[in-house]
Amino acid sequence: MTKHKEELEHRLKLRNIKLSDYDDIRDIMVSIYKDQGGAWTRQELKNQIKAFPEGQICIEDNGKVVAAALSLIVDYAKFGDNHTYDQITGFGKFDTHDNDGDTLYGTDVFVDNEYRGMRLGRRLYDARKELCENLNLRSIIAGGRIPGYSKYYDQMTPRKYIDLVKSKEIFDPVLSFQLANEFHVRKVITKYLPEDTDSRAYATLLEWINIYYEKDEKLIGNKKSIVRLGLVQWKMRRFNNVDDLMQQVEFFVDTVSGYKSDFCLLPEFFNAPLLAEFNDMPASEAIRNLADYTDEIVSRMRDLALSYNVNIIAGSMPEYDGKKLRNVSYLCRRDGTIDKQYKLHITPDEQSYWGLQGGNGIKVFDTDAGKIGILICYDVEFPELGRILAEQEMDILFVPFWTDTKNAYLRVNTCAKARAVENECYVAITGSVGNLPRVENMDIQYSQAAIYSPSDFSFPHDATVAQASENAETTIVADVDLDLLTKQRKAGSVRNLEQRRLDLYSVQLKRKK
């Protein structure tokens, strides 16, 4: 290898700054900031490294520093938004650094002019973000120069200038870069750097929010990141009584609990085999008699949730109060509490055969393993419901269903996939298989249980976390990562929730009187 070729090779290394790097850092700062005060002194850099060595980061190339980023931790409430650069940096001494603070404050980022275009600034910004996350700090804040404003100050206000930079009508060498790195402008501040004539002494107060920030770290009982789902693809078979039914339910609850699942999902109308007892009655009368078992089954489901330490979504069962017949899914939490979600949309068959009526409310349920929603079968085919739940920060949508034919199943399945993408959440669906010859209107079943995810790089390539064999009694046990949802909503290739045109449309839940 020739000496010339060796000189052309780059060997970039990201690391923390040492005092021995001072000469390289001074040279870069002098060339960049010759009109804004030049470089830090050796003593100032020494103070900065001593105050917060982890926050002083550089990139070297073949042993020479070619880019650097400096920062400190502050208790931001002590300074507020109307601060100056000198105030928050302690006039460069970094004696304002506070290890117990909540904010990483970026003071400087600079790149050797010969290395412009190599995206070293982006590497430094990414390193800062990683530091902010690892230290569990609320955000990164920085005061940003707007050097391009000097060309426009007599034509527009700083606010108008910033808006045009955001819409890419104007390019600003500093602000355009910061916006591209996921910072947003909190406000415009004045006299931040009085000597910055290019910015006319204005600056943008920029913030990058750490979406993984946990305000109160607990040793136990923290919100789970990895959640394990257990789905039961249930076979319809004859049961003589509730005890027979619950024996089979307990078998599956025990099974998914044995794998330490956080949730166990059963299908819609999983207790339908008990209708055989009322087969000599009209369908509408038989379903109302079936509703007499619901309270007992729910009570026993709650006991299973407690004893097997798993949250159970008890498919759905009929509820009859003497006036209204409704289809309801019960959430039996493992802490002993119970919630329920009514089916809102009733199919033509359910109305004509049974006289079912829809419920009037929908909500997200808090659990020890995330925020969940429940949509029973047909309800998942109405995208408005999923969006309402997503706006309440739902992580996982559970869909217990009952379908008789493959085309009916495909309606539920296709819509479930869509709900996962458009609402940036996981969707778990399961139904029943087998036949019930002696139960009118529920005689055949078709199901293929599955767990779906958003469709982006962090998730499976086909947006399918797991999928059961079709029309076979089985279980699915699979993990979903809630942190990936947080990342998707803030940094995904597309961001369906964040980028809604709320200036054009909205989805609202009307409160029924």
List, by residue number, the catalytic residues.
Answer: 268, 343, 377
Cα 218 from Cα 213, distance rounded (Å): 13
Is residue 44 classed as helix, strand or coil in its secondary structure? helix
Tokens of 491: 């940094």
**What residues contact residue 94 under an 8 Å CB cut-off, 6+ apart?**
47, 48, 51, 52, 72
The torsion angles phi and psi of 239, rounded to 5 degrees, stand at -120, 135
CB 429 within 8 A of CB 448: no
The 3 state secondary structure assigned to 269-331 is: CCCHHHHHHHCCCCHHHHHHHHHHHHHHHHHHHHHHHHHHCCEEECCEEEEECCCCEEEEEEE
Cα 204 from Cα 185, distance rounded (Å): 6
Count of all residues that appear for the chain in the document: 513
Cα 21 from Cα 19, distance rounded (Å): 5
Cα 151 from Cα 176, distance rounded (Å): 16
CB 452 within 8 A of CB 462: no
Cα 136 from Cα 115, distance rounded (Å): 32
